[in-house]
Chain A
């Protein structure tokens, strides 16, 4: 890394802006935590012509609508925006951003941002905190056509700020060549996994779940939710209350105890993380994998026969409920073309055909119920993922969540590694989270 001593040492030490964005949830200690919501998969090679990338850099004064999105969605969003533009007699431009979340905040603050940005719902609190998004007044009638959770996810302090188009969550993925039947409970899963491992020397892991040395709260939450635990209690307006942290509640700790047990049995390990979990599954080294739709692309490439089912139930508790991530279109608070942007999100994106088109780009269950129903009828993966998350809650979208990823992730890693007891460790995580929130 010495190259910059000479090269551009003074100017290239480190990028606060760039890196704070890369964790997805701006938590450097938990890379990839919110990533499931922040990125997407399914189509990569077969994308159409690069029309969207030929537009002018930054924003062009002659364009009537500027949309920022990431590389995978851009071609589809471009198609939709073009159709909308034709309908309205205007020109549109779709630009690809890499660290969309951070770049949107930075650029908007200096007046160089887009009119619309596509992103995950858990950015919302932060975007409101920084005055970068505008409310979207969806009519009650339109809102009722979306899944209830996806509309809730777009709200902050009771106000709506986004139009949802897809939901995503983790589920149980299994290698059907190794495990033909889906286990209903965690005990079943562990028992059958161990049996598979015993008779198949190639299998090294019973269950793959991203943990890593700093832990991953996104995957810890389902254990807590199975016992009625969680991260935040509900606020008066139905959102999340940053003053009610329930990481040390009875339900949460019961979930942590399951983590401890699985860690002790060697089912979960801090040596499995975001860098190798997928690779191990795709090499056929484990029958079970807790993961989201983003993992299906590589599994198909590696010719793994897989099936998706609900997360198992935990002994003494209920079913593990994953965090729900919702993909939204936001309108910038400093949009230069606010009227057109509002028109696009409220009256165009809410159409079934448009939502179906967006589905093609992502392969995630559409948020619009009518569109979902049509997709689910023909796509078992989508249906299975949706079913696994149909009763779950959206990931908290309040800024206080940024204080949770680090401490809770590390607490779960420590519990899995057997470094600390579940009860005590989650209590200290609670203390740290509360202290961090109060600091802000």
Chain B
């Protein structure tokens, strides 16, 4: 680890005080914990090996090594405090982000081509016209193992004829000694062991088992007690990489990771498989006219929304925190608890309530103010509505934070200010605010980032709407994230790859803006 400790006022601390002896119990606890880590790691490694995740054993080993190095040596004290959080951060935040970023270079599908072909073929099996439906019992030869013995179909055709079928074909079953139910299902036949439901279920080979019949059709089981004669009507030709519908003669060729009709007539198969597409998704974002035209409009509102949300919630939260920061105010703890209520009720609940309150005809907002504003239908009013609702949802957070931060401002600083003759306003502006901002400045930036991606509020309150007439993919209150969501998760063919690409772009925008904002705040000096 490259994190070498360097105590800031170096000369102030003589080396002798650097290595105090920890108490014995602490040493024991520490080594026991380390031993536990190793034991658990070994257990996990065997589990991983059992399940066939070889690669992950390496990752596990690296993590364990890191833990041992950090906690068993005195080398890196900061790491001792950072490592647990760091491991969780890398595993549960960074890794998923990397995975997401990597899907931006694919078409966002998850199924492989082989799976797709199998599914299409399986789905194309049709009952042969005019073929009988049999009553079915599944059996093995008497004496062979029910779990592994060759499968036999004991069939009763609708006219009562008894048949037996195996992987070679169908033949007559002698009626002697055969016992049937009222419906015709065979329950006993000499020379066979009829399987019960559980035994049949355990036979995974049943999925591919068929009794061959005339020209390529086969008799297959439907459940446990019925069999039909069917035939796949779509077949795959590996040499030409095409599918052919044997009933219509239509040939399907590969295009954009799916099978489409060669002559362009008729419908393509809906299944798509995963494919790498390089930078195509980013190219689409830059060149697709509908995406590009919406982007700037949404972007501007997105910034305004995030900035205004932070400013309004912070001002209100801070004012209230100051208001209640008075020793003499009786019952202020109850006031505070009630103020936290908007925050205590799940956000999706209150979003619903606000949507209802903003209804033009039936909502409380208009009826209290005697206005007739179409809050959710007018583009500007909808923006205002969202900001108002977000102010309500967000101020308790700022209130809590500032209340906490105010406690860190030493009272003697204020005393000193007063002695110097500073008025309350001056004290607030030049003493309290700067100190407060040091503590909460980075949080305002984090809050900005959060609101920049505040999907759920917009989604639940306006759904991104109102929409302009000719384009329902771009709403007037859409944020980039709700817009990306709509692009990616709705429509005929949801495109998760494109969504991932949009998310990367959003990330860079927010990161650059936040970084710029960060440099301007005093907090950066603290970091240096």
Cα-based distance from A140 to B446 in the complex (angstroms): 62
With beta carbons under 8 angstroms apart, the residue of B267, B398, B467, B489 that contacts A241 is B267
Q: Are A402 and B492 in contact (CB under 8 A)?
A: yes
B376 at the interface (CB under 8 A from A): yes
Known contacts A275-B356, A410-B467, A340 near B197 by CB under 8 Å:
yes
Q: Are A5 and B201 in contact (CB under 8 A)?
A: no
Cα-based distance from A6 to B196 in the complex (angstroms): 56
Cα-based distance from A270 to B359 in the complex (angstroms): 9
Known contacts A29-B472, A214-B463, A157 near B397 by CB under 8 Å:
no
B39 at the interface (CB under 8 A from A): no
Which residues in window 103-129 of A have CB below 8 A to B?
109, 125, 128-129
Cα-based distance from A326 to B188 in the complex (angstroms): 40
Query: A residues within 8 A CB of B491?
Result: 402-403, 436, 439-440
Q: Are B271 and A137 in contact (CB under 8 A)?
A: no
Cα-based distance from A237 to B377 in the complex (angstroms): 42
Query: B residues within 8 A CB of A2?
Result: 313, 393-394, 397-398, 447, 450-451
Q: Are B362 and A280 in contact (CB under 8 A)?
A: yes
B222 at the interface (CB under 8 A from A): yes
Cα-based distance from A109 to B273 in the complex (angstroms): 13
Say which size band chain B's interface belongs to: 35 or more
Binary A-proximity of B12-44 (CB < 8 A = 1, otherwise 0): 000000000000000000000000000000000
Q: Are A406 and B472 in contact (CB under 8 A)?
A: yes
B521 at the interface (CB under 8 A from A): no
Chain A: minimal CB distance from B217 (Å): 13
Q: Are A213 and B394 in contact (CB under 8 A)?
A: no
Cα-based distance from A258 to B358 in the complex (angstroms): 28
Known contacts A3-B343, A3-B397, A5-B443, A243 near B267 by CB under 8 Å:
yes
Which residues in window 366-386 of A have CB below 8 A to B?
none
With beta carbons under 8 angstroms apart, the residue of A89, A214, A342 that contacts B465 is A214
Q: Are B489 and A20 in contact (CB under 8 A)?
A: yes
A58 at the interface (CB under 8 A from B): no
Query: A residues within 8 A CB of B394?
Result: 1-2
- Give the segment of A10-18, A173-181, A188-196, A296-304 that binds chain B: A10-18
Q: Are B361 and A9 in contact (CB under 8 A)?
A: no
Nearest to B93 among chain A residues (CB) is A10
B187 at the interface (CB under 8 A from A): no
Tell me how many residue pairs across A and B have CB atoms closer than 8 Å.
242
Chain B: minimal CB distance from A132 (Å): 9
- Give the segment of A70-78, A305-313, A331-339 that binds chain B: A331-339
B224 at the interface (CB under 8 A from A): yes
Q: Are B456 and A14 in contact (CB under 8 A)?
A: yes
Q: Are A213 and B492 in contact (CB under 8 A)?
A: no
With beta carbons under 8 angstroms apart, the residue of A26, A158, A400, A414 that contacts B469 is A414
A36 at the interface (CB under 8 A from B): no
Q: Are B201 and A339 in contact (CB under 8 A)?
A: yes
Binary B-proximity of A148-162 (CB < 8 A = 1, otherwise 0): 000000000111000
Cα-based distance from A339 to B223 in the complex (angstroms): 4
Query: B residues within 8 A CB of A129?
Result: 270-272, 493
- Give the segment of A46-54, A221-229, A343-351, A353-361 that binds chain B: A343-351
B413 at the interface (CB under 8 A from A): no
Query: A residues within 8 A CB of B226?
Result: 139, 346-347
Query: A residues within 8 A CB of B222?
Result: 136-137, 139, 342-343, 346
- Other A-B pairs, 11, CB within 8 Å; known A20-B489, A26-B490, A339-B200: A2-B447, A2-B451, A3-B347, A14-B459, A20-B485, A89-B196, A131-B271, A213-B463, A343-B197, A417-B377, A431-B470
What are 27 A-B pairs with beta-carbon distances under 8 A? A1-B450, A2-B397, A3-B347, A5-B443, A13-B453, A28-B463, A28-B464, A28-B489, A29-B464, A64-B197, A89-B198, A125-B270, A129-B271, A129-B272, A130-B271, A135-B122, A139-B133, A157-B267, A235-B267, A271-B360, A276-B362, A280-B362, A342-B224, A406-B490, A410-B469, A436-B491, A437-B492
Tell me the A residues contacting B by CB distance below 8 Å.
Answer: 1-6, 9-11, 13-14, 16, 19-20, 26-29, 31, 64, 88-90, 109, 125, 128-131, 134-137, 139-141, 157-159, 213-214, 235-236, 241-243, 269-273, 275-276, 280, 333, 337-347, 398-400, 402-403, 406-407, 409-410, 414, 417, 419-420, 425, 428, 431-432, 436-437, 439-440
